[in-house]
Amino acid sequence: MGRRAGVETTGVPAAAGVRMDWWAVPPGVRSRVEASLGSPVDHAATQAGGFSPGVAARMRLADGRRVFVKAVGPEPNPDTPGLHRAEARITAALPATAPVPSLLMALDLDGWVVLVLEDVDGRTPAQPWRPDELRRVLAATAELSALLDPAPVEAPTVADRFGGKFRGWRRLAAASARGADDLAWLDPWARRHLVRLAEREAGWTAAVAGSALVHGDLRADNVLLTGGRVVVVDWPWASVGAPWFDVVAMGPSVIMQGAPDAVGLLDGHLRARGADAEDVTTVLVALAGYFLHQSVQPPPPGLPTLRGFQRAQGEAALDWARERTRLP
């Protein structure tokens, strides 16, 4: 799966973590992967986009085949192997017609989880976003949700998947009430409306109910543009809910990364799909609270760049929510 290097070119945080080189994987694991592939790895090019702390590399095998390999061990982040296993299960069960790279094999080797996927010759959307590419991706989300509604894969609901996370405003309000955080770092508008935001956030699980399988973590770095397709990669967070959820979840990163009239394009797309305006705003408020609360937490092991990216997304989500709520 081709990806551009995750460099920061727009003055905003790049969606890029700290990758491991394929050749740094323990030799015993590498040799068993090569045995399963039936050919040695001749060349491995690390792809920087995305936050997983393991290997993400386009590979050319000695026999000329090309594959994309994701691999992670128990260090530095103990949660990532489980995400790779979830991605393998979801990807393997998606319809063959879905614009998703095929899973060729998944291996559990001495605590390492290795996914071998179809190598897609594509690129991530330009940054800042080009309006034509944003429209293309938005159209693809509508097509994908139609294909995946009802969900063809058993997965948790969006509410169950993110219910423990989307409590940011309530956590910030509680921290403020007990004097643990004066919230001086928070936007004055958000501080002024903290109680209202926390109350609205509490209704997000009902607002996001639905029967479609959604990606759950859609951003530019999880999309590949090819000559004729928009390919969506990295599915560990897939869940079942409202078919427009991915657009709302992607929106803050689009706004942050820059696109002419991003909010207008996003709002217009959601209206055209018949998404309830109040439900969209409620989910967006919850998303903003999540990103902002997470942004002031210690960085997860092996993910040193994540909090800055979340802070920028949180500020973009807050701007979008402020425009939609029209609170003074």
Whole-number pLDDT of residue 256: 95
Q: Environment class of residue 117 by beta-carbon count within 10 Å: exposed (0-12), middle (13-18) or buried (19+)? A: buried
- State how far the Cα of 94 lies from the Cα of 155, in Å rounded to an integer: 12
Instruction: Please tell me the predicted confidence (pLDDT) of residue 182.
Output: 96
Chain segment 27-67, per-residue pLDDT in tens: 999 999 999 999 999 999 998 766 677 899 999 999 999 99
Candidates 252, 216, 250; CA nearest to 234 is 216
190: which 2 tokens? 């958000």
Please state whether 23 falls in left (phi above 0), alpha (psi between -120 and 50) or beta: alpha
Residue 10's pLDDT is what? 46
**Average of pLDDT values for 230-240?**
97
Look at residue 6 in the predicted model and tell me its pLDDT.
33
| N-to-C CA span, the chain | 45
pLDDT recorded at residue 163: 94
Question: Residue 8: pLDDT band by 50, 70, 90 thresholds?
Answer: very low
Higher pLDDT, 83 or 302: 83
pTM above 0.85, yes or no: yes
Does residue 271 register a pLDDT over 80? yes
**pLDDT for res 53:** 75
259: confidence class by pLDDT, cuts 50, 70, 90:
confident
206-234 average pLDDT score: 96
Is residue 218 within 8 Å of residue 241, measured between CB atoms?
no
Q: What percent of the chain has pLDDT over 90?
A: 86
Q: Residues 302, 53: contact at Cβ < 8 Å?
A: yes
- What structural domains and CATH numbers belong to the chain? 22-118 (3.30.200.20), 131-325 (3.90.1200.10)
Predicted local distance difference test score (pLDDT) of residue 4 = 34
Going by pLDDT thresholds of 50, 70 and 90, the confidence category of residue 3 is very low
How would residue 156 be classed by pLDDT, with cut points 50, 70 and 90? very high
For the cut 90, the answer to whether the pLDDT of residue 300 exceeds it is no
Is the model more confident about 98 or about 9?
Answer: 98
Q: Indicate if the alpha-carbon torsion angle 145, 254, 81, 48 is positive or negative.
A: positive
Sign, CA dihedral 189-192-198-200, equals: negative
Tell me which residue of 127, 122, 156 sits closest to 140, measured CA to CA: 122
pLDDT at 302 (0 to 100):
79
Instruction: Give me the half-sphere count of Cα atoms (radius 13 Å) on the Cβ side of residue 37.
Output: 27
Query: Among 267, 265, 263, which residue's Cα sits nearest to residue 277?
Result: 267
Average pLDDT, the chain: 93
Is residue 157 within 8 A of residue 240, CB to CB? The reply is yes
* Other CB atoms within 10 Å distance of the CB of residue 7: 11
Cα→Cα distances 86→153, 229, 274, Å: 12, 25, 31
Three-state SS at 228: coil
